[in-house]
Amino acid sequence: MRPRNTSPEAPFQTIQRASLMTGLSPGYLRAGVKSGRIAHVRVGSTYLVNVPRLLTKLDEEAEANSGAGASQAGQRKEAEDGSGA
């Protein structure tokens, strides 16, 4: 039998190791895997999370959220400036 690749550089990690690598709770990852929101493969009874894809998705969501927040802040600033003039 071949030894398992348990290297932290491997793209697919168990939920527990993905939790340690990303800082996300195992429960959050498990729920995302079961709902299909988090990319994964199932090997027997073990779920392996595609960590690079998860990190990319989190980065995209963070950028989208920060862009929306900045846009809303700019609109509030414009509204305040317009009402005081």
How high is the pLDDT of residue 19?
A: 96
Residues 57-78: pLDDT tens digits? 999 999 999 876 655 655 665 6
What's the chain look like in SS3? CCCCCCCCCCCEEEHHHHHHHHCCCHHHHHHHHHHCCCCEEEECCEEEEEHHHHHHHHHHHHHHHHHHHHHHHHHHHHHHHHHHC
Residues 10-56: pLDDT tens digits? 899 999 999 999 999 999 999 999 999 999 999 999 999 999 999 99
**Domain extents in the chain:** 12-80
Give the tokens for residue 14. Answer: 């168990």
